[in-house]
């Protein structure tokens, strides 16, 4: 009896040790892959900026005439992100466009629109509960509270920005403090330039050297955009496998402790997984199953808004030249806008309740008919943007 017990105890020990040894190697390999993909992201952003400068030259402003008003910029940011389902991708592209000459004043509504467009992912995730009655109501409310917060944030801050340009001024001041206000080129601040410039120049001079400037620039910009798509997708998958388990642990331990803890954990997890869509999608099933209430997960989704800004800030470090400070400026504006939205809307009790009330009312309506879900997605992410563009053109905004 004793011998049998001893034997079984001894044989159990090696079985526990085997997985520990076998997972160490792949973990290091995955982190190395993440580092390589981040480098590719920086190269891709540099490609977009260089490509637009080569193809457009001094006519960059005319090239972006299609987004000559704030409403059009907002719509472009919303629809592009809704289709791509990644605000990180869209904001990285916007940084590259600013580096190529897109005016910051037009880019600001675009990043606001990216905040709205990214929330469609939560709605799609909530549909997994569609056949479970109250569970779907809770999940759908948890998904759309993020939508309504971002819509309210745009409704408040976009008119103020159009009238006073306060975000543009704050971003310019902060960018000037970080890089020094005397020069428009970030020069010594940009330690990324030496490592991203060689592949960009090699592609421009050696691979595409025989093409006209216009064609070279277009190919470089398109290649940069395509690379960003691929890189963000791959980084997301790698970081999910590396971090989502830990992210769930943080989520469980932090969300229920109060709003400050919820916002902080939402920010930290989003920085770790580099995707606000991933972060907020983690919470929807937990809200649906009743683990957390809508009021508990609300601050967590706001933290995701802040955490997602890290990608644009990272992308801005790849930009060099006279427009580099503007690329940094728009990345900082994205952060300032999301931070102010959380402080202002969540800090004022009346405003704080609006997204909660709207999400609950819509969720109750979906219990009567699932057509409300289809109508909501079509109206918010596609039909309303088209109406806004038509209205802005008609009114000459």
Tell me the pLDDT tens digit for each residue of 278-308: 677 777 877 887 878 899 889 999 998 998 8
- Report if residue 259 sits inside a domain: no
Tell me the pLDDT tens digit for each residue of 81-116: 777 666 777 888 888 888 878 889 989 999 999 999
- Report if residue 344 sits inside a domain: no
Please tell me the distance from the alpha carbon of residue 4 to that of residue 38, in angstroms, as a whole number: 53
- Report if residue 78 sits inside a domain: yes
Q: Predicted confidence band at 336 (pLDDT cuts at 50, 70, 90)? A: very high
- Report if residue 190 sits inside a domain: yes
- Report if residue 180 sits inside a domain: yes
Tell the residue number behind the tokens 């005319």, with chain if given.
62
The number of distinct structural domains making up the chain is 1
Residue 239 contacts residue 37 (beta carbons within 8 Å)? no
* pTM score: 0.71
- Report if residue 278 sits inside a domain: no
Q: Cα–Cα–Cα angle for 227, 228, 232, nearest 5°?
A: 120
Q: Domain limits at 195?
A: 34-232+309-337+368-395
- Report if residue 342 sits inside a domain: no
- Report if residue 322 sits inside a domain: yes
Q: 3-state class of 43 per DSSP?
A: helix
Residue 104 contacts residue 69 (beta carbons within 8 Å)? no
């Amino acid at each position: 009896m004793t011998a049998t017990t001893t034997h079984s105890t001894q044989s159990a020990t090696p079985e526990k040790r085997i997985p520990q040894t076998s997972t160490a190697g792949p973990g290091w390999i995955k982190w190395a892959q993440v580092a390589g993909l981040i480098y590719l992201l920086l190269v891709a952003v540099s490609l977009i900026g260089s490509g637009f400068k080569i193809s457009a030259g001094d006519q960059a402003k005319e090239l972006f005439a299609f987004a000559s008003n704030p409403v059009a910029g907002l719509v472009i940011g919303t629809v592009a992100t809704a289709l791509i389902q990644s605000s990180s991708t869209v904001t990285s592209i916007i940084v590259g466009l600013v580096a190529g000459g897109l005016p910051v004043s037009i880019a600001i509504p675009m990043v606001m629109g990216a905040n709205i467009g990214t929330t469609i992912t939560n709605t799609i995730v909530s549909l997994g509960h569609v056949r479970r009655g109250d569970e779907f109501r809770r999940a759908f409310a948890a998904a759309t509270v993020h939508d309504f917060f971002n819509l309210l944030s745009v409704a408040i801050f976009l008119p103020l920005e159009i009238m006073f340009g306060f975000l543009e001024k704050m971003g310019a001041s902060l960018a000037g403090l970080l890089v020094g206000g005397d020069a428009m080129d970030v020069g010594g601040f940009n330690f990324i330039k030496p490592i991203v410039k060689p592949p960009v120049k090699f592609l421009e001079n050696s691979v595409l050297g025989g093409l006209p400037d216009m064609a070279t620039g277009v190919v470089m910009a398109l290649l940069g955009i395509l690379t960003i798509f691929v890189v963000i997708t791959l980084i997301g998958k790698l970081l999910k496998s590396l971090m989502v388990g830990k992210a769930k642990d943080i989520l469980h331990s932090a969300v229920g402790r109060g709003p400050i803890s919820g916002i902080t954990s939402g920010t930290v997890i989003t920085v770790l997984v580099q995707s606000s869509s991933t972060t907020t999608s983690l919470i929807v099933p937990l809200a649906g199953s009743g683990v957390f209430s809508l009021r508990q997960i609300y601050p967590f989704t706001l933290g995701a808004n802040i955490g997602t800004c890290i990608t644009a800030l990272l992308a801005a470090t790849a930009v060099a030249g006279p427009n580099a400070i503007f690329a940094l400026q728009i990345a900082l504006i994205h952060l300032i806008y999301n931070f102010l939205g959380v402080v202002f809307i969540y800090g004022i009790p009346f405003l704080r309740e609006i997204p909660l009330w709207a999400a609950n009312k819509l969720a109750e309506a979906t219990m009567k008919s699932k057509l409300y879900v289809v109508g909501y997605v079509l109206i918010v992410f596609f039909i309303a943007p088209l109406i806004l563009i038509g209205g802005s053109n008609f009114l000459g905004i």
